[in-house]
């Protein structure tokens, strides 16, 4: 199997991106769901930008940001001795930004559906805001969390343009499935392309069925 590398790399990238986004996206979604700040539409727009921008635009700016001449890229080079561009970490950062709306939007919707009422009830029952978040908001928004994670994972698996721009095609480091498919097609290696493309198609279909099935199932009970 010459193609195990891209598959493992892709799944690893998607898993790491999902975890990172879960940690970053949850507070952001919580803030968006509860804030009365006037900055809310601006932050919402920024969050949704990756949905509408061509991946090449996003990739272009990220490439500039990762360059050793930029503050971030320069800092990274001095600390780690390698560049951010064309590295796995660089791909994680790019994927995190690229998949941000897929984590934040389902979570925000879920938190808005929970609303303030159960949190107020939790407070009057002696729960601190942190306690109420974990013991009431999270279980009540559990389906939102599942949807957000599944979509983020799947969307990261399916990205192409951004990876091509900031990651290139380095086996074992940045050569993910979509890039491998592209390469196979370019070199007229259709048999290999079929394996990866078909696999991705089935995977994406299963994921979407899972999400829609989750969305119509009765409320998730955890107690």
Partner 1 sequence: MSDKPVLSFKFRLRHPGFELALAHDMALAGITALFGHSGSGKTTALRVLAGLEKGADGWVSYDGEPWQTPAHENVFVPPHARAIGYVFQDARLFPHLSVKGNLDFAAKRASLRDNGTDFETVVGRLDLEELLTRRPDSLSGGERQRVAVARALLTKPRLMLMDEPMSALDSRRKAEILPYIAKLPEAFGVPVIYVTHSVDEVASLADTMIVLSKGRKVADGPVADTLARIDLGPTTGRFEAGVVLEATISSHDVEYHLTSLDIAGTKFTLPLINASPGTNVRLRVRARDVTLATEKPVSTSSRNIMEGHVVEIIEEPDTPFAETLVEIPGGRLRARITRRSTAELGLKPGTKVFAQVKSTSLTGGAIIER
- Residues at the site binding partner 1, with contacts judged by CB under 8 A: 117-118, 120-129, 131-132, 135-136, 139-140, 142, 219-223
> In this complex, which beta carbon is closest to partner 1, that of residue 123 or of residue 197?
123
92 vs 141 by CB, closer to partner 1: 141
If the CB atoms of residues 54 and 118 are measured against partner 1, the closer one turns out to be 118
Q: Give the position of tokens 């940690």.
A: 23
Closest distance between partner 1 and the C-beta of residue 89, in Å?
Answer: 37
Taking the complex as a whole, the smallest distance from the CB of residue 109 to partner 1 amounts, in Å, to 17
C-alpha–C-alpha distance, residues 218 and 212, integer Å = 12
Judged by DSSP in three states, 80 sits in: helix
Would you say 204 and 155 are in contact if contact means Cβ atoms under 8 Å apart? no
Over its C-alpha atoms, the chain yields an Rg (Å, rounded) of: 20
32 by Cβ neighbours in 10 Å (0-12 / 13-18 / 19+) ranks as: buried
- b/e sequence 156-172, b meaning 16+ C-beta within 10 Å: bbbbebbbbbbbbbeee
- Locate 40 and state its tokens: 């809310």
Query: Looking at beta carbons only, is 69 or 221 nearer to partner 1?
Result: 221
* Residue 33, both tokens: 């769901």
Which residue, 110 or 179, is less far from partner 1 as judged by CB? 110
Min separation Cβ 142 and partner 1, Å: 8
Please state at what angle helix 88-114 crosses helix 4-34, rounded to 10 degrees. 40
Among residues 129 and 171, whose Cβ is nearest to partner 1?
129
Owner of token pair 């940001």: 65
């Amino acid at each position: 199997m010459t193609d195990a590398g891209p598959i493992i790399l892709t799944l690893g990238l998607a898993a790491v991106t999902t975890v990172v986004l879960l940690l970053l996206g949850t507070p952001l979604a919580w803030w968006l769901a509860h804030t009365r700040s006037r900055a809310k539409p601006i932050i919402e727009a920024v969050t949704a930008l990756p949905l509408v921008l061509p991946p090449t635009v996003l990739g272009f700016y990220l490439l500039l940001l990762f360059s050793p001449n930029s503050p971030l890229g320069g800092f990274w080079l001095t600390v780690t001795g390698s560049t951010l561009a064309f590295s796995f970490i660089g791909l994680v950062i790019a994927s995190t930004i690229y998949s941000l709306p897929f984590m934040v939007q389902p979570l925000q919707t879920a938190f808005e559906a929970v609303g303030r009422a159960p949190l107020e009830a939790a407070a009057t029952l002696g729960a601190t805001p942190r306690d109420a978040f974990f013991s009431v908001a999270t279980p009540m928004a559990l389906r939102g969390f599942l949807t957000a994670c599944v979509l983020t994972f799947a969307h990261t698996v399916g990205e192409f343009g951004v990876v091509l721009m900031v990651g290139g095609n380095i086996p074992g480091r940045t050569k993910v499935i979509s890039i491998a498919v592209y390469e196979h097609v370019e070199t007229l290696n259709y048999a290999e392309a079929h394996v990866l493309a078909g696999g991705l198609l089935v995977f994406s279909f299963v994921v979407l069925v899972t999400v829609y099935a989750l969305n119509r199932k009765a409320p998730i009970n955890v107690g």
